[in-house]
Amino acid sequence: METLIQTTQEIRQRIWMELVRATQDRHHEWRTPVLATVGSDGMPNARTVVLRHADANLASLHIYTDSRSPKVTELANQPNAILVFWSKRLNWQLRMRVGMSMQTAGAQIDALWNRLSQSAAAGDYLSASAPGDTLQAEQAIPSDSTHTHHLAILTARVQEMDWLELSRSGHRRALIGTNTWKWLAP
């Protein structure tokens, strides 16, 4: 049984510790949060993404994606988004309001591509078809026939976190800003 985290600073530190751990542990429940954006039709759009990097000092997270993905266009039109994390082990839900930016070229993309290009993940960014494209029957098997990669880094700058802990001894919820903290009714 885990010790109850009491202070606001302990909770904030634990949240970031878990986020960093999720980038390193493929089995961590926070590794695959849900990213919600505003679709091109004005309706909500949500999908699971993979958390690749977390930096508590910068209050930022990185997600890799195909630069042709609909979420890239959605975020270019409306950069505000929500990330939702759930951990059964912790009994924690974390909702983050984030401002998103993207990078599709430059030294950071080149360095990342040099690392990824020799891995199995490289195929995710080499497909001739963009994510969501309609495929013909003969295209149903992914192809990496092109050598031009479409890797992009999405950076989420955390604006606010809504933390909820479910517990038999009483639920707790807080709204956490960069320099603010408000306890909320769960």
The verdict on pTM exceeding 0.75 is yes
Query: What is the pLDDT at residue 138?
Result: 60
CB 152, CB 102: distance < 8 Å = yes
Query: What is the pLDDT at residue 6?
Result: 79
Cα-only R_g, the chain = 18
CB 46, CB 35: distance < 8 Å = yes
- CATH fold for domain 8-128+145-184: Pnp Oxidase; Chain A (2.30.110)
Query: What is the pLDDT at residue 1?
Result: 46
Query: What is the pLDDT at residue 46?
Result: 98
Q: Which residues of the chain have pLDDT under 70?
A: 1-4, 137-147
Q: 42 — alpha (psi -120 to 50), left (phi > 0) or beta?
A: left
Phi and psi torsions of 10, nearest 5°: -65, -40
Residue 184: CB atoms within 10 A of its CB come to 11
Q: What is the DSSP letter of 91?
A: T
Query: What is the pLDDT at residue 132?
Result: 87
Q: What is the largest CA-CA distance in the chain?
A: 58
Residue of 37, 60, 62, 67 whose CA lies nearest to 51: 62
d(CA 103, CA 67): 9
